[in-house]
């Protein structure tokens, strides 16, 4: 399902944010002066991942009845106007 909804980038951003958060905790315990930069980058990545999770829902396609189509890779069959020879 993650592949179908194209959420790989969101998952990667969330995982990188979590890893940088762990790195911040380790670095702050050892009193490294620039550890707060890791916290800032972690926060940005976590917010970006959250926005990327919302993206498919906000920009989902609507069909003729007004229902939302969350699976963009499924081809919607339309009735053929011409007969095939």
Which pair of structure tokens corresponds to residue 16?
A: 């990188």
Q: What pTM value is reported for the model?
A: 0.66
Which pair of structure tokens corresponds to residue 57?
A: 């829902």
Cβ 70 vs Cβ 60: under 8 Å: yes
| Residue-wise pLDDT tens digits, 20-79 | 999 999 999 999 999 999 999 999 999 999 998 888 777 776 667 767 666 656 565 666
Cβ 17 vs Cβ 52: under 8 Å: no
Q: For the chain, which residues make up each domain, given as ranges?
A: 8-69
* % helix, strand, coil for the chain, step of 5: 55, 5, 40
Which pair of structure tokens corresponds to residue 75?
A: 């081809």
């Amino acid at each position: 399902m993650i592949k179908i909804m194209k959420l790989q980038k969101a998952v990667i951003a969330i995982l990188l944010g979590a890893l940088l958060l762990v790195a911040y905790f380790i670095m702050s315990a050892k009193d490294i002066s620039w550890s707060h930069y890791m916290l800032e980058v972690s926060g940005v990545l976590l917010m970006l991942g959250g926005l990327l999770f919302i993206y498919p829902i906000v920009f989902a396609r609507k069909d003729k009845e007004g229902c939302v189509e969350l699976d963009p890779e499924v081809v919607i069959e339309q009735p053929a106007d011409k007969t095939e020879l």
